[in-house]
Structure 1
């Protein structure tokens, strides 16, 4: 059953990510900032790192263009995005995610996507809410939208269990460098 496969995969991936987090993220944020430099002026969505997630904040702060953070409006809905800048006041949103207390709502063209695991095909294992999959599907239906996976290299698995709604990443950034998916 797919739900059981994903549940087991999430537990194993969380353990691997915690070990990688303890070892540090090396040059991952530098690689991410370097890639994002090619997208100056575009609206970027990042995320506030939670638990043992790899930290995109240095790359987000360096981005030459508007930056926003995801806001979960409700179950089974796509994400919304509120403008963010370093030092902005944050409040706790759904699932304890920190979000800007105020700011304009933006529509990102490039999204830094967190995860528990990823595979060589460009698929990711999220937390089970489907928020990024729904959001990427909706944004990509309007215009080209880039999904940048950001994780520790140790989070790679042989194969992520897939469902028809899963959206593929365009590239993956880890402390080992950048990998593009065709």
Structure 2
């Protein structure tokens, strides 16, 4: 299966289980509690993405939390400091970003995804933003990538490429998967 077909199938699976108001970040909060104070980056959920905001709010009480800002095509992401209830504006592709704030470098990155496998493989949206960003961050220092997804987004046959950055852990609404 090619990446385009895999993405379409995965989007359908994700849409079928999306629960926008459900408490789905409990396991993510549990994982992050073991890393209090470590700089981390989450994301502002869009469309049918699982929402990490409750876990990010808890983490922000103990250390810096950022969200990704798209700087341009084929460029790594940068991360702007985020706080609960900060003013947000629309960034590229409709992603919400803090209106203002300092830049930060995370040591933990919560990664949105379209599909994942139990070996740490991730299928993203196709822009390569997270792959470039994780490669850059990991070249400078150890950086943990935590995929956050609905359990139904698992796929046993992902079309992965050598440039795809692996996930160190996958967290779903049903539990924690360590490759």
TM-score range, shorter chain: over 0.9
Q: Which runs of 4+ in 1 moved over 6 A?
A: none
Partners of 1:24 and 1:61 in 2: how far apart?
A: 16
Name stretches of at least 5 consecutive residues in structure 2 with no aligned partner: none
TM-score, structure 1 as length reference: 0.94
Aligned counterparts, 1:85-164, within 5 A: 85-164=83-162
Q: Deviation per CA, 1:43-99, whole angstroms, max 9, x where unpaired?
A: 110000000100100000000210000000000000000000011111111111010
Instruction: Give the root-mean-square deviation of aligned CA atoms.
Output: 1.3
Q: What is aligned with 1:9? A: 6
Name stretches of at least 5 consecutive residues in structure 1 with no aligned partner: none
Displacement after TM superposition at 1:159 (Å): 1.9
The SS at the match of 1:69 is strand
Displacement after TM superposition at 1:25 (Å): 5.1
Q: What is aligned with 1:19? A: 16
How many corresponding residue pairs? 177
Whether contact under 8 Å (1:118, 1:125) holds in the other structure is yes
Q: What is aligned with 1:58? A: 54
Partners of 1:23 and 1:36 in 2: how far apart?
A: 21
Whether contact under 8 Å (1:25, 1:175) holds in the other structure is no
Partners of 1:144 and 1:25 in 2: how far apart?
A: 33
Q: What is aligned with 1:45? A: 41
Partners of 1:86 and 1:139 in 2: how far apart?
A: 25
